[in-house]
Structure 1
Amino acid sequence: MDLVPIDDIRAAAADIAATVLRTPLLRTRWDDELWLKPENLQPVGSFKLRGATHAVARLDPARRERGVVTHSSGNHGQALAYAARAAGIPCTVVVPEGAPEVKVAQIRALGATVLLVPPARRLVEAQRVAAETGAELVPPFDDPRIIAGQGTIGLEILDDLPGVEVVLVPVGGGGLSSGVATAVKALRPATAVIGVEPLLAADARDSLAAGRLVPWDVADTYRTCADGLRTGLSELTLAHLRERLDGIVTVTEEEIRAAVGRLARDARLVVEPSGAVAAAARLFRPDELPAGRTVAVLTGGNVDPALLADLVAA
C-alpha cells in the first residue's frame, strides 16, 4: 500500500495557506516542557479544516460543480462545509444520530445539507448520495488528500520548535496521526510521535498490537465522551501508523474530563473532550511517555456548553 510522502504534505501546506489558520505553539505554566498546538482556534474549531481544504483544492475540475459529500460526527462535516462554501460548491454531510447538537447546528449554519442516520449507516448513506448526485465523497480520514492536509500540523510544529522531542496526537480514524507522524518522522526521525486514544475506544491500540484491523463495536466506542474519536482505523491509516507511529497510550474518561477543565482554567482554551486527550496523556500518564520537550495537539473546541460548564467547575 502506498503511503503519503512528505512532498504531498508540503504541497498541501501551499494549498491551504489562504484558508487555514497557522496556529501557534503555546507554553504552559504548569509544565516547563509542554507546548500546546491549539487547533481549536481554527475558523471551524478543529484541525479538520486542513484536510478538507486540501481535498477540495484537489478536486477534479470536471466534478467540482457537483459538490462534495461526507460522513462525520461533526468536526469533519463542519470543515468540509466551510471549505465547500469557500469554493462555491454544494456540500452534504451525513451525521450519525447522537452527535453533539452544537456541531450539527454549525454544519447547517455553514450552508451544508445535513442527513441524520443511525451510526452504523453513516458510510452507506454517504455512498448513496455520492452515487445519486455525482458528488465527490470526501472521507473524514481514509484518503491520502486528508492525511496530507492534516500532516501540515507536523510541519508547523517542527518550524516553531525544531528541537521537539515528543509529539502527542489524538487517534480516532487515524488521518491526523498518520499525517503528523509522516511529517515529523520524515524531517526529524529522532522525535517520538505517540498516539493517544480513549480507553473506551482503544481500537488503534488493539490493531497496532495485532498487526491488523481490530474493529470495536459502535455500542462500545459510544461510551466515551470523546465523540470525535469513536471511529476506527482504516487499512490506509493503519498502514501509516504501523510504519511511522512510535507508540500509543490510552486515557480514561476521568482523565479526559479533567484535562478539559485544566485547559479551560489554566490555559484559557476551550477544548472538547476529543481534543484534550493528548494533554490528558501528558498530565496523567507521564510515566508511559518519552521524556523531553513535548507538543500536545489540541484537535478541537466544539464542545457542548453545558458539558464545558460541568468540566470547568469540577
Structure 2
Amino acid sequence: MFDKYKPLKKILITGANGMLAIAIKNALSGCDVYAFSSQELDITCSQSLHKKIATVQPDYIINCAAYTAVDLAETEQEKAFKINAFAVEKMAQIAKQYQVTLVHFSTDYVFKGDAAMPYQPDQDTDPINVYGASKLAGEKAISRVNGKHYIFRISWLYAANGKNFFKWVAGTDVKELNIVNTQTGSPTSAIDVANFINHVIDNDPKNYGIYHFTNQGEMTWYAFAKAINQKLDLNKTINPVATFKTDAKRPAYSVLDCKKTEQVFNYSTPSISDGLDRVVARYKS
C-alpha cells in the first residue's frame, strides 16, 4: 500500500492576505500550503524571494501579490511596474532555476476595450492605463523567461472579504448609487478562480502559456450592482450613469473568451449568476 502513497503537493502562495490568496488557500485543502503576506515576503526583494523559494522547495508558486490600485497607478507608475513587472520577472527566473511551476494572474485591462466580441488569449494587447501596462509587462517577462508557467487573465474580481465592488455595494450606507453602465465585462468570483486553480494543480496538463478565466457571461457595472442589490435584498436605488470621473481610463468592453481554458483544462467555467450566489452565501454566513 505504501508504494501508492503520494506526497502532498507543496504550494507557495504570495500576497497571502489578499482576497484571491485567501480563497485559494481555502480551496487547496489537499495540498501542503506555505502562504506569505507582503510583510512576510516582499516580492520586490530578490534576496528574500530566492531564500523563501529555496527553503520551501515548492512544486508550484501561486503569485497573488500585485499592485492593483488602478487609479493610483497613474501617479505611482514606478511602484506599479516594480511589483507587477520587475518583481514578477525575478520570480519567474528563480522558479525556472528550481524547476517550479509559476501560476500568475493578469487582467482584462491588458486590452484596449474597443472590441465587439470577447477577447482571445492570443489577441493583440493595447492597455489604456498604467495598471494594464504594468500587468502586461509582467506577462511578457514571464513569457521571456519561459519556465513552467501559467498566466491566467481574470477580470472584475470580487469576494465576500477584502476591498472590492461587491463589498462596497453590500456595505455602503448610501441608499442611492450612481453606477456606470458604459463598461462591460465579466464579474468574477474569487471562490471560482480558487476552485479552478485547485483543479489545475490536481490535473496539470503542463500546457503552459496564457489563458483566460472569468465567470461566464457579460454585464455592465450597473447591471452587476443591480444583481448584488437584488440577491442581498439591500433595497438600494441603483441609477445608471454614462460616465464616472476616475484618474485612469477603463476599457469599455473587456470580456474574455475562456474556450481555450475550458478545452485545455477540461473545465466548465461557472456563470456570473452562480459565482455571485456563492459569494452572497459566504457573505451572509
Q: Given the two structures, how large is their TM-score scaled by the length of structure 1?
A: 0.28
Q: Given the two structures, how large is their TM-score scaled by the length of structure 2?
A: 0.30
Structure showing the higher helix proportion among its residues:
1
For the pair shown, the structure with the greater C-alpha radius of gyration is 2
